[in-house]
Amino acid sequence: MFFAVVWNKEFASYEIWALESVVWYEHIRKNLVVFSIDETHATLQETLKKLSNCSTCIKRWTIHSLQICSQKIEDWGVDLVGVEKKELWLLLKKTLDVVKRFKIVDLIHTDKDMQSWWQEIVHIKADTYGLVQWYQNIPLYEIVDFEKPIRGMQVWMMPAKLTLLLINLALQTKKNDTDEYTVYDPFCWFWTTNMLANAYWYNTIGSDIQISSAKTNMQWRKEHDMSRKDKKVLVFKQDVTLPFEKPFLKHVDCIATEWWLWPIIKHKTWELELIQHQEKIREVYLWFLHNIDVFYDKMRICMTIPYYVERDISNVVDVQQWAEKNNRSCVVIPELYMRTKQVIARQIIILEKK
């Protein structure tokens, strides 16, 4: 039995529960899920590798009784333990004679002491407990979000965690556990999707109508020590309203991208301006979807589209109508991704030719 602490339970259900070897899945409380794995379907190491790639996982590992947890901690020689609540701390003090110090830690945060030297225990339910033995790769997210030469937090650049979620959902139907897949972002903008794809050992292609920002960030990323230099990386100029013609695009396995968010929408943006903006976006993306459909026999697309929260406006209906007309399956994830005080949320849509 396994558990995971997740930053969003709805997104985790699409990412973790859909893993081929996960045969049972349950949401326990706000940020905690438990699941079991069919080890006859895939080796434990293969599954753990996929779980390690899951963007929604903050921390995870195995579930045991308190007695087994105590024995493992003693065997490992750990004398420092982290817990979420004081009640568990008091219980463990009576149980774990070898432990000298306890620390209260936030369930959804990665504590550096826990990650480096200590052992964190999570209460699951009843008399079961989780031993944390894996944490999210925060340095990678920080590098992609904050350290690249050209970035756009002021224009709601897509966060690295959300980007990785799109990549994982786009590749979800691929059966072989291989790093030879190629991820394509036709709206690569700041090169975020491509950085994450490269970091997780995929080949990656990016294009946009203007690629100067992407090229600068791509060159910086190539020289970074987290770059996978043996993976193929390519950027080229492409107007998505025009036909796709590059032969190398035929080697793409999936498309992961973000819907255009421009221009910046504020609380005082006029209704007419917003409607005109929506119509322009609609035109660009319907041409994009048409050109992709013409170029590929089969292609899975995972993308975000803007949802204007205060006006309750989205282009979801346009995409759904296009999908129905063109014989594509269309999954709209109800959960919105947004940060505090933002007026634009992101909604995830997955399209695939039937």
80: tokens are: 């420092």
In this prediction, residue 344 carries a pLDDT of 79
Looking at beta carbons, which pairs linking 171-174 to residues 24 or more positions away fall under 8 Å? 171/202, 171/253, 171/254, 171/300, 172/18, 172/300, 173/300, 173/352, 174/253, 174/254
In this prediction, residue 206 carries a pLDDT of 97
CA–CA gap between residue 317 and residue 340 (Å, rounded): 26
Class of domain 138-353: alpha beta
In this prediction, residue 99 carries a pLDDT of 78
CA–CA gap between residue 77 and residue 209 (Å, rounded): 57
Each domain of the chain, given as residue ranges in start order, spans: 2-135, 138-353
In this prediction, residue 117 carries a pLDDT of 80
Is 130 exposed, middle or buried (CB count within 10 Å of its CB: 0-12, 13-18, 19+)?
buried
In this prediction, residue 280 carries a pLDDT of 83
Q: What is the separation of C-alpha 204 from the centre of its chain, rounded to a whole number of angstroms? A: 16
Other C-beta atoms closer than 10 Å to the C-beta of 82 total: 21
pTM for the complete prediction?
0.90
In this prediction, residue 155 carries a pLDDT of 46
Looking at beta carbons, which pairs linking 17-25 to residues 24 or more positions away fall under 8 Å? 18/172, 19/47, 19/50, 19/51, 20/175, 21/46, 21/47, 21/50, 22/47
In this prediction, residue 269 carries a pLDDT of 63
Looking at beta carbons, which pairs linking 291-296 to residues 24 or more positions away fall under 8 Å? 291/240, 291/241, 291/242, 291/243, 291/244, 292/186, 292/244, 292/255, 293/326, 293/328, 293/353, 294/243, 294/244, 295/243, 295/244, 295/249, 296/250, 296/252, 296/353
CA–CA gap between residue 287 and residue 290 (Å, rounded): 5
CA–CA gap between residue 59 and residue 133 (Å, rounded): 8
Task: Tell me the HSE value of 85 on the side-chain side, using a 13 A CA sphere.
Answer: 6
In this prediction, residue 268 carries a pLDDT of 65
In this prediction, residue 54 carries a pLDDT of 92
Mean pLDDT per block of 10 residues along the chain (354 residues) reads 93 89 89 87 73 92 90 85 87 78 89 84 92 90 84 64 94 70 94 93 94 90 84 95 96 91 62 75 91 94 86 80 93 89 85 86
- Cis amide bond preceding 306, omega within 30: no
